[in-house]
Amino acid sequence: MILSIALKEFYTNLVSARFTIGFLLCLVLIPFTMLVSINDYKTHQKAYEIEKKQADKNNVVKVYSALRPEIVKPPEKLSIFSRGISNNVGNKVKIYFGIKPMLAEGRNTIRANPLLNGYFSLDFVTVTAIILSLLALLFTYDSCTREREQGTLKLILASSLSRWELLLGKILGAAMTILPVILFCYLLSALIILFHPAVSFTAGEWLRIAVMILTSIICFTFFMFLGVFISSRLRSSMTSIVVCLFIWVTTLFVIPNMAVYAGQSFVERDTQENLDFALNDLDKEFREKVTDYRMKMENADWHMNWNMSGGADGYMLVGGSSKSLYEFYRTLNMFQEPLRLEYADKKWSLQKVYIDKLDRQRICAERLALISPSEIFRQTASSLCRTDVESQYKFLERAIEYREELISYFNDKKLFESFAYFTTEDPKTFKTADEIIRIRTGGQFQTLSEFGEWSRTHNNDWSPLYKVDIPGTNPWEAEPLNISHVPQFRFKPAELFDNLKQSLGKLVVLILGCIIMFFLSFISFTRYDVR
């Protein structure tokens, strides 16, 4: 008898206009959404290849002070299904010794035309959450009220059929209607991916999609039970659909946005400006200590650099200087670079406080949003697709670990106190200031003091120093460093088990919600007035 009722409900839903409209919406929106998402992925992949090539180019350096690797995170293929936060965070991390990476940089998702960035775009998970939750409610909002209004419900219950059998039959009929639609959406998406040349999934990624299908079924089962419960509490189909639509809009659109607003309002955080101000104070303190130390150092015989460039984070490339000046720079680096690392730790204590407050806002918003079953589905899907916040944190944590590996390598090899840290010249070829004067002037002057006296009496003329160039003193002509022995960045994304463990609590809440809603529907229907 339960199966007969289920088949009757299934047939009624199948020939209804709502099924036709819902099926057409899926048939149109799902392929469109998938093609747009795949096109976005292609764009991100091309941007990644360009950025990776540039990063590899930047890693070709002459001295170790210039070796500050840039890490570029490839786009996640499963972002085709759920973008998560991948569109709102950067994808690059520059490894500095003077500061630990706090957030990724770059905006690889910005469109080529910035005037189009304000337009809203949807992914597969969002579209299915909107369409299928609505269909689940539309197929169940009148499960009790329709037959009560037609007068058939009283006749059915007048027979030997019990109420729980009737309820199970109606629920099973709705499930038989919504389940093929869910599977159709995923099957259509899978076919597009299989036949699209731009993307291909591994077995592990298909397994993640299979888990996503199960999550979808649980989520939309909740909406199905919700529709039955609302229908069993009301006497009019018109009232029932109004209440269902109100709850649908609230759960899908109102609650997530209110959760974000509440998270920002209830959890205070420092501004980026305050953090930057505090970090700048530490940078100033660091520079003052370096300057004080430098003033106390024994001066070089001649502060003349024939070839020199410098930059942030201790970068220095020097060539053609005197032996004493090279020793001056080496001694300075022995003090300056460990101090730079010390101040990076001090900065991190401030950065960590800032990040923790940002994360508390995020956690507050996410937990409040879990009131919505569709939001549970979205968060679980983004975790399965590795486009959630935790996946971004995992990437940043690995970047911090890699920075420590790089620093340990520099310390083990004593690179901070080596000449190779800032010059390409062999220390055996270093020359005194007098030797440089004698060679560069072609023997015209023998000592620095002799040349200095002549220059002062000739309007500070330095032209004799350019008669003869000293080979090997131009660092830009030197071969790049061989960094094959330097630690390389390796990143392993989270395994499926880790993502499932992370989302287990949310799935349990969703399953419990389904059980509770079914129980409430059963209790309500047993007391439903069929007159």
Phi/psi of residue 100, nearest 5 degrees? -85, 145
- Which residue is it, tokens 């036709």? 20
Query: Do residues 26 and 189 make contact, with C-beta atoms less than 8 angstroms apart?
Result: no
Q: Residue 25's Cα: distance from chain center in Å?
A: 31
Q: Identify the DSSP state of 301.
A: S
pTM check: above 0.85:
yes
CB contact burial 226-244 (16+ within 10 A = b; e otherwise): bbbbbbbbbeebeebbebb
Whole-number pLDDT of residue 531:
63
Rounded Cα–Cα distance for residues 226 and 247 (Å): 9
527, with CB counted inside 10 A (0-12, 13-18, 19+), is exposed
How do residues 333-372 score in pLDDT, each as one tens digit? 999 999 999 999 999 999 999 999 999 999 999 999 999 9
Q: Residue 462's Cα: distance from chain center in Å?
A: 55
Which of these, 289, 299, 321, 327, lies nearest to 418 by C-alpha position? Answer: 327
Element (H, E) at 307: strand 307-310
- Which residue is it, tokens 């005194």? 432
Query: Do residues 476 and 307 make contact, with C-beta atoms less than 8 angstroms apart?
Result: yes
User: Would you list the domain boundaries of the chain?
Assistant: 2-252+374-405+502-526
Residue partners of 170: CB distance under 8 A and separation at least 6: 5, 6, 9, 140, 143, 144, 228
What percent of the chain is predicted at pLDDT more than 90?
68
Rounded Cα–Cα distance for residues 343 and 110 (Å): 34
Amino acid identity at 303? H
Rounded Cα–Cα distance for residues 286 and 313 (Å): 12
The pLDDT-based confidence of 107 (bands split at 50, 70, 90) is low
Lowest mean pLDDT among 120-124, 244-248, 439-443, 461-465: 120-124
Structure-token pair, residue 433: 């200031």
Residue 149 has pLDDT above 80, yes or no: no
Element (H, E) at 317: strand 316-319
Question: Please, what is the average pLDDT of the chain?
Answer: 90
Whole-number pLDDT of residue 157:
66
Residue 117 has pLDDT above 70, yes or no: no
355, with CB counted inside 10 A (0-12, 13-18, 19+), is middle
Whole-number pLDDT of residue 114:
47
The DSSP code sequence of 208-237 is HHHHHHHHHHHHHHHHHHHHHHHHHH-S-H
Structure-token pair, residue 189: 């998406």
